[in-house]
Each structure stands twice: as structure tokens, then as C-alpha cells.
């Protein structure tokens, strides 16, 4: 009777075994680490914030080298090892930074060593992030004379420039901290901080208010109108308060007084902080009479008080200085008369008593007002006449000069926007205004001299011609003509728009990404109008025809010229076209190759292979992936060493998409019935495939024959089943 012997089935039979260990194919000769492609020393990479940054270190060598990544400490030549964690990982020589942060920006160094040499690769990583800015504090109240500090806090990367504006005017300051050592009245207002790079800008606003401790000047005590006899002494006093402490000055009919043989002026500050100022006239004369004024002023304001000091005597009119006024303004004149009593004060012009029209107003106290002054009708000599009841009179003349502001004839750039390279000319003519007149030009609020291709020519006394021989995008902007004379200034502005064909800010180049990472490729152009940037993909494996991306694909999107592919795979590999067009010229285009660097991959993970004992056999494995790919063979999880058994021979062939390795066995033996594992490794990872090798042969002779029972003509036998030769025993 046949009784099979107990056998144990291999746990690996019929199952796939995947090795998690990385092993490299061993070449016959030692190889020091060397770059596998073009040297990338000093390579600059840019990734957006929160994307996956992939830093390659394409170096091979034998024995398999060790890779170590370092990051330089900013501003120094010192470096420190990169700390690996859940976010920052190293796969072979590739450093993968997930959810990249601005702080990850910097210069990295990959150091590669083995027993026969070393190599290093330097890479500069820039993690870009949208710019944001804020000023702290957003509002601050500061007392006069105290310091004020604004800090412009910003986020984003990279930051190219920092600038400040005060009430819309540019400040000569480029630091993040703006400090005012001693606040003055003119420092109050709105402050703006701008942070910029080549692609965008951000702005923040803050306000500086004057502190609550300041107090505008206030007159607490003042002198009254009084009438005195000639020769008497007169004492006038004004007391003023305020913070900061005001200063008091004295005037007579608008003329500032100072210490002399007639006037003695003194001033002091009380313990309470009030300012006391006095004006003494020891022996007053008739012509010293008039309208006296004390003026209290500080950085926060001005206040004044006026009163007449009348001195008995015949009427007197002081001499009056020539007065200039701008056309369109209002003339206000006080007749500087003295004497007492004075019954009437009138104004005359050309012997006629004023007013002679509705613009003129004359008041009993000797004040003359002329509204909306014009040169033709109001420039003249005016006479003030003061009379008393006895018929005595005094006269004083005032020459009024009316100045005319410049007036610029409106102008503009014809056919704006213009094309780059055209000749452009514009004329600024001052149609009205007193001579001499100075004419200057500004571009975007700034004076310019020797600006490229721009010339200004004075034609006659009232005209300036601005010309641009060959206009370019740099010439675009707001051009302002400024005309100045003694009366003041006039301005007129016109915008010049220049059509400029697209030009590259950031031209895309061939990129390689690790499989599974987030790919980001920037394509940026400027011009006028602003170019529209689009991306397309080649329809085949070579550049030529291109098609738009499929709509509603969540893994591929284009934002502001940047192509983003989430979780990039080999299927995304190919040629891509970036185009920038704005309707001016033929536009720009760039074709790039996006490569996906993937670990090796076996299409078949497990298979059986049979051979007759004594016959030759060839075990083959084919791995696809980025080259170079190293192959090694294991037998039952132990390294197979061809040198230790001349029956084995390994041959490799490089294919366009990978490598194929043949393990040849000259003469199979029973020990070759095993699991052969082919392991493929490149710089991005490894994969393996298992071949269950079955060596078949004739079964062995049964053994352990025993007679179990014999009775009559029958015998019951048992034996131990022999080795079946890896094929079923049929009989």
C-alpha cells in the first residue's frame, strides 16, 4: 500500500515577495562618485510654498556611495546637516521637502562619498510665497519731540525691495524699520510700506497722530486799545500758553518789531509754563501809534491778538512797501495810519474814491479788500488818506503788482499707446504767465536727466518739446510738464503707453521631477498690454503638435503662467509648450521637456519557470525606470555570487526605457529549485521581482519498504515517498 511521506511546502511558493531593502548592482571595478549628467554646481531651483521641493543629487559610484545633505547657515560659509523627519525625507541621493516653507530657502550641499572618492553638488533653493505686509503699530499717537517707530512686517519670498511713502510722497528710506527721532508737526499723517519682488508687491498703511499732551498756543492775557499823549510811556503785555512752549513776537501793521531805541521787548516763562512777553515804549510819539499785534506760535499752531494804540496828534500814514499778489487772489491791505483823533480813513486810485466796482470793499478802520485780483484792472497805485475834523490829512501810497501764474495748454501723446521703436514727440506750451518762466519735465513724479533716448528742447520763452527717438517700454509712464515763475507753478500731465511685445521674465527650461512629487514650472513674461500666458502639451512623444489640457482636471492647473502638476507620474512625462501673447508682435513660445524620475519598476512581480535537471536555463528580469539602474540577484534571500559558482553567468543589456538582466545557469541542479529575486535600484528607489525556479527530474527510488500485513495471497506494504523530481508521480 502506498503511503506518502510528510512534506513541507515552501511558504514562498505561489506568493509574491517584495523586498524593502535597497541593494545596488556591483560592477566589476571600483568607481569613485561622479555626476551622471551635466554638472549642476550652483543650480538655482524655485518652488512655491506648500509644494514639494525636490533637490536632486545625480551621482553614482561603486561601492554604493553614501549621500549626506547639508544646508549653509545664511550669510556664512558654515553648514549644518539637514534634519530628516516626516516632512523632509531623503530617498537615495534625492532630498524631498514636502509642504515647502519660506524658511527652507537657502543654499544646499549634497556630499557623496565612498571608499575610493567623493563628490559634491551645490543647489540654491528659493521657496516662493505671496507677499503680504503690515505695519505695526497701525496707529500710534506720539507727543512732540518724542520718538516714533513703525515696523514693516512682511511675509512671502523673495523680497527684493522695501520702500516707504508719507502722505503719498516717497521717503528716502529702504529699511523695514522707520524711526523718527523727534516727532514734529509735519510728521503726522499716513505712512505706507511697500515690499516688492520681480513679480508682485504688497502694501500696508499706518497713521501717526500727534500726542494728547500737545496744546496749540493760546493767548491768556492781552493788551487793550488805549489812547495816550505823546511822550508818555506805554507797556503792552501778552501771556500765552501751549505745549510745546510757544514763542511770542510783536508787529506793527504787519511789520515785525525788534529791540531798538524805541522798542524794548522782553520775554520769560513762568513756573506754570506760560510765556510772558512785553513791549515797552518809554516815550511814545504820534507816528508810533497804530495797530499792534502779538503773535504766539509753536510747531502745533499760531494765534494772535491785535489792538490799536492811539497817540494824540495830527494824522500820519506810514510808508507802505510794494505788495505783490497772484492774479485770482484776494488783496487785503490795512492802512498804516496814526494820530488821534482821526475822523476818516479812505482809499483812492487815480484821484477816484474807492470803491469803484463790486470787487472793492473799504472799511472805516482803513482796511481795503479787492477780490479776484486781475492785472488789467487792479494793478495800480493806491492812496490811503487819513483826515481829522480840523481838515488836516495825511496820505500814503501803495503800489500793487499783480503776478500771473503760468498756464499750460493741455497736451497729450497722439496715437497712444504707441509701438516700441516709434518716434514720439510732445509739446508743453505756457500760454499765460509772467516771464521768465522755467519749464521742466518729470516722469512718474521724478525729475529725469539724460534719460535714455529722451531729449527736451526749449523753443522760445514759453515752449518745451520732449522727444523720444526710439520709444521703449522703459519710456512708458506719466509725463508731467512743470512751469514756474515768480507767481508760482503750474503742472499738466499726460500718460504715454507703449505697446511692447512680450519678453521673458522667466523663460521655462527642461525640468525633471521625482515621481509622486508636485511639479511646478514657472513661465513669466511682461509687455504692454500684459501678455496672456498659456500652456499646452505635445500630442505625441516628440515636439510638434500641441493640445490644450483637459478641462476640470484637478491634478493639472495653470495660474499666472505657472504650470502645476500634482502627484506627477510617468504619464505626465513629455514635451510642453508655454506661449505668451499680447497681440503685439508674434509673441513668445518655449518648448520644454518634463521628465519624471521614477524608481525602477517590474511589470511582473512573480512567475514560475521550469527546467530539466542538467539542462541549461536562463532567468530574465526587465526593469524600467531612470538610468543608471543597478541589478543584483538573490537566491532564497541570499546574495548570488557568480564568482563562487562558475555555473552562473550574469549579463545585462541597457534598453531605451530601462535594463534587462539575464542569469544563465549552464547546468541546472536540484539546488537550483529556489526563489530567485532580481533587485533593481537607481537614485530614486528600488523594486524587485521573484522567479520560482523549478528544476524537474525523474523521481527517486522509494525507500523504507515495510511489510505491514500478509494474509493468504495478499501482502500489505508501506514505504516512504521518494523525492518526486518536482513533478507528480503518476505510478
Give the CATH superfamily of 407-496: Immunoglobulins (2.60.40.10)
506 CB neighbour count, 10 Å cutoff: 16
pLDDT at 90 over 50: yes
Q: pLDDT-derived band of residue 9, with 50, 70 and 90 as boundaries?
A: very low
State residue 152 phi and psi, 5-degree precision: -90, 105
Cis geometry, peptide bond prior to residue 706 (ω within 30 degrees of 0): no
Is 137-210 in the same CATH topology as 1-24+599-731? yes
Separation of alpha carbons 562 and 108, rounded Å: 24
For residue 5, the model assigns a pLDDT of 35
Distances (CA, A) of 273 to 217, 239, 248, 370, 613: 12, 10, 14, 42, 118
pLDDT at 215 over 70: yes
Which of 379-393, 433-447, 669-683 has the highest mean predicted lDDT (pLDDT)?
379-393
**Domain range annotation of the chain:** 1-24+599-731, 36-128, 137-210, 215-311, 314-403, 407-496, 500-597
DSSP for 341-362 reads S--EEEEEETTEESP-STTEEE
With the CA atoms of 85, 89, 92 and 96 taken in that order, what torsion angle do they form, in degrees rounded to the nearest 10? Answer: -160
For residue 17, the model assigns a pLDDT of 34
For residue 22, the model assigns a pLDDT of 38
Instruction: Give per-residue pLDDT as tens, 122-134.
Output: 898 988 888 889 9
Helices (H), 348-462: 375-378
Separation of alpha carbons 197 and 199, rounded Å: 6
Give me the CATH code for the 215-311 domain, please: 2.60.40.10
Instruction: Give per-residue pLDDT as tens, 45-80.
Output: 888 888 888 888 888 888 888 899 999 988 788 889
- The three cell numbers of residue 350 are 487815480
Mean local confidence (pLDDT), 298-309: 91
Taking domain 36-128, whether its CATH number is 2.60.40.10 is answered by: yes
Q: pLDDT-derived band of residue 213, with 50, 70 and 90 as boundaries?
A: low
Q: Which strands form 161-166's sheet, in the order they lie side by side?
A: 139-142, 201-210, 189-196, 161-166, 169-171
- Residue with the bigger pLDDT between 375 and 244: it is 375
pLDDT at 641 over 50: yes
Q: Which of 338, 340, 377, 382 minimizes the C-alpha distance to 359?
A: 377
pLDDT at 8 over 50: no
For residue 75, the model assigns a pLDDT of 76
Instruction: Give per-residue pLDDT as tens, 397-448.
Output: 999 999 999 999 999 987 778 888 889 999 999 999 999 999 999 988 877 7
Q: What is the pTM of this model?
A: 0.50
CATH of 500-597, one of 2.60.40.10, 3.30.300.180, 3.40.50.410, 3.20.20.70: 2.60.40.10
Mean local confidence (pLDDT), 550-571: 88
By the 8 A CB rule, do 617 and 554 touch?
A: no
For cell 479787492, name the residue. Answer: 370
For residue 635, the model assigns a pLDDT of 92
Backbone region of residue 36 per phi and psi (left: phi > 0; alpha: psi in -120 to 50; beta: other values): alpha
By the 8 A CB rule, do 696 and 726 touch?
A: yes
pLDDT at 25 over 50: no
β-partners of residue 40 are none
Instruction: Give per-residue pLDDT as tens, 605-634.
Output: 999 999 999 999 999 999 988 888 999 999
Mean local confidence (pLDDT), 640-646: 84
Give the CATH superfamily of 137-210: Immunoglobulins (2.60.40.10)
Distance from the Cα of residue 720 to its chain's centroid? 85
For residue 102, the model assigns a pLDDT of 87
Helices (H), 237-378: 375-378
Q: Work out the burial of residue 560: count CB atoms within 10 Å of its CB; fewer than 13 is exposed, 13-18 middle, 19 or more buried.
A: exposed
Taking domain 314-403, whether its CATH number is 2.60.40.10 is answered by: yes
Q: Are strands 438-443 and 454-459 parallel, antiparallel or unpaired?
A: unpaired
By the 8 A CB rule, do 554 and 593 touch?
A: no
Separation of alpha carbons 97 and 292, rounded Å: 80
Mean pLDDT of the chain: 87
pLDDT at 592 over 50: yes
- The three cell numbers of residue 106 are 537657502
Distance from the Cα of residue 66 to its chain's centroid? 39
By the 8 A CB rule, do 264 and 286 touch?
A: no
pLDDT at 452 over 90: no
C-alpha angle 230/235/240, rounded to 5°? 145
Lowest mean pLDDT among 33-37, 178-182, 430-434, 460-464: 33-37
Mean local confidence (pLDDT), 308-315: 96
Backbone region of residue 265 per phi and psi (left: phi > 0; alpha: psi in -120 to 50; beta: other values): beta
For residue 4, the model assigns a pLDDT of 36
Separation of alpha carbons 79 and 627, rounded Å: 31
DSSP 644: G
Topology given in CATH for the domain delimited by 1-24+599-731? Immunoglobulin-like (2.60.40)
By the 8 A CB rule, do 250 and 266 touch?
A: no
Amino acid at each position: 500500500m502506498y503511503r506518502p511521506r510528510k512534506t513541507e511546502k515552501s511558504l514562498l511558493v505561489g506568493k509574491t515577495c517584495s523586498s524593502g531593502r535597497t541593494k545596488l548592482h556591483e560592477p566589476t571595478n571600483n568607481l569613485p562618485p561622479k555626476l551622471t549628467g551635466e554638472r549642476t554646481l550652483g543650480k538655482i531651483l524655485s518652488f512655491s510654498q506648500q509644494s514639494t521641493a525636490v533637490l536632486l543629487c545625480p551621482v553614482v559610484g561603486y561601492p554604493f556611495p553614501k549621500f549626506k545633505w547639508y544646508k549653509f547657515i545664511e550669510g556664512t560659509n558654515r553648514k549644518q546637516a539637514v534634519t530628516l523627519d516626516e516632512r523632509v525625507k531623503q530617498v537615495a541621493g534625492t532630498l524631498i521637502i514636502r509642504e515647502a516653507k519660506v524658511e527652507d530657502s537657502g543654499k544646499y550641499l549634497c556630499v557623496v562619498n565612498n571608499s575610493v572618492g567623493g563628490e559634491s553638488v551645490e543647489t540654491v533653493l528659493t521657496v516662493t510665497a505671496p507677499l503680504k505686509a503690515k505695519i505695526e503699530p497701525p496707529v500710534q499717537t506720539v507727543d512732540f519731540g518724542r520718538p516714533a517707530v513703525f515696523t514693516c512686517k512682511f511675509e512671502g519670498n523673495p523680497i527684493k525691495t522695501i520702500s516707504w511713502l508719507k502722505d503719498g510722497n516717497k521717503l528716502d528710506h529702504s529699511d523695514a524699520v522707520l524711526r523718527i527721532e523727534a516727532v514734529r508737526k509735519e510728521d503726522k499723517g499716513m505712512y505706507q510700506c511697500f515690499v516688492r519682488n520681480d513679480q508682485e508687491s504688497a502694501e500696508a498703511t499706518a497713521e501717526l497722530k500727534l500726542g494728547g499732551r500737545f496744546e496749540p498756543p493760546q493767548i491768556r492775557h492781552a493788551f487793550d486799545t488805549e489812547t495816550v499823549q505823546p511822550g508818555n510811556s506805554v507797556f503792552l503785555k501778552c501771556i500765552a500758553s501751549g505745549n510745546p512752549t510757544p514763542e511770542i513776537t510783536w508787529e506793527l501793521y504787519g511789520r515785525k518789531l525788534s529791540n531798538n531805541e524805541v522798542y524794548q521787548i522782553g520775554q520769560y516763562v513762568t513756573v506754570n509754563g506760560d510765556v510772558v512777553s512785553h513791549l515797552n515804549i518809554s516815550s511814545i510819539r504820534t507816528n508810533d501809534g497804530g495797530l499792534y499785534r502779538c503773535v504766539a506760535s509753536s510747531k502745533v499752531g499760531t494765534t494772535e491778538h491785535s489792538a490799536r494804540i492811539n497817540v494824540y496828534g495830527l494824522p500820519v500814514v506810514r510808508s507802505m512797501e510794494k505788495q505783490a499778489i497772484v492774479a485770482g487772489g484776494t488783496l487785503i491791505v490795512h492802512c498804516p495810519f496814526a494820530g488821534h483823533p482821526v475822523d476818516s480813513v479812505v482809499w483812492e486810485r487815480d484821484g477816484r474814491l474807492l470803491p469803484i466796482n463790486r470787487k472793492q470793499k473799504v472799511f472805516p478802520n482803513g482796511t481795503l479788500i479787492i477780490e479776484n485780483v486781475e492785472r488789467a484792472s487792479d494793478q495800480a497805485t493806491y492812496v490811503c488818506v487819513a483826515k481829522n475834523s480840523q481838515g488836516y490829512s495825511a496820505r500814503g501810497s501803495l503800489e500793487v503788482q499783480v503776478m500771473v501764474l503760468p498756464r499750460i495748454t493741455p497736451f497729450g501723446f497722439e496715437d497712444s499707446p504707441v509701438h516700441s521703436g516709434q518716434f514720439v514727440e510732445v509739446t508743453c506750451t505756457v500760454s499765460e504767465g509772467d516771464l521768465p518762466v522755467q519749464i521742466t519735465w518729470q516722469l512718474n513724479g521724478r525729475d529725469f536727466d539724460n534719460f535714455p533716448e529722451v531729449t527736451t528742447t526749449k523753443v522760445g520763452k514759453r515752449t518745451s518739446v520732449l522727444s523720444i527717438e526710439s520709444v521703449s517700454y522703459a519710456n512708458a509712464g506719466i509725463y508731467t510738464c512743470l512751469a514756474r515763475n515768480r507767481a508760482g507753478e503750474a503742472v499738466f500731465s499726460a500718460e504715454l503707453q507703449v505697446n511692447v511685445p512680450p519678453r521673458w521674465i522667466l523663460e521655462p527650461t527642461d525640468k525633471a521631477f521625482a515621481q509622486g512629487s508636485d511639479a511646478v514650472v514657472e513661465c513669466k513674461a511682461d509687455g504692454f498690454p500684459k501678455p496672456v500666458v498659456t500652456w499646452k502639451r505635445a500630442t505625441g512623444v516628440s515636439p510638434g503638435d500641441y493640445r490644450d489640457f483637459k478641462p476640470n482636471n484637478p491634478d493639472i492647473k495653470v495660474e499666472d503662467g505657472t504650470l502645476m502638476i500634482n502627484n506627477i507620474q510617468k504619464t505626465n512625462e513629455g514635451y510642453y509648450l508655454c506661449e505668451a501673447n499680447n497681440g503685439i508682435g508674434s509673441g513668445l513660445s518655449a518648448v520644454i521637456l518634463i521628465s519624471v524620475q521614477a524608481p525602477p519598476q517590474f511589470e511582473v512581480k512573480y512567475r514560475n519557470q521550469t527546467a530539466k535537471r542538467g539542462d541549461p536555463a536562463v532567468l530574465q528580469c526587465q526593469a524600467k525606470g531612470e538610468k543608471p539602474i543597478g541589478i543584483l540577484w538573490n537566491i532564497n534571500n541570499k546574495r548570488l555570487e557568480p564568482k563562487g559558482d562558475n555555473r552562473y553567468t550574469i549579463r545585462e543589456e541597457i534598453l531605451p526605457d530601462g535594463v534587462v538582466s539575464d542569469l544563465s545557469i549552464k547546468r541546472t541542479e536540484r539546488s537550483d529549485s529556489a526563489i530567485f529575486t532580481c533587485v533593481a535600484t537607481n537614485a530614486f528607489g528600488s523594486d524587485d521581482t521573484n522567479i520560482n525556479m523549478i528544476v524537474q527530474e525523474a523521481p527517486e527510488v522509494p525507500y523504507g519498504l515495510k511489510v505491514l500485513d500478509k494474509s493468504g495471497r495478499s501482502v500489505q506494504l508501506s514505504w516512504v515517498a521518494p523525492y518526486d523530481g518536482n513533478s507528480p508521480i503518476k505510478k
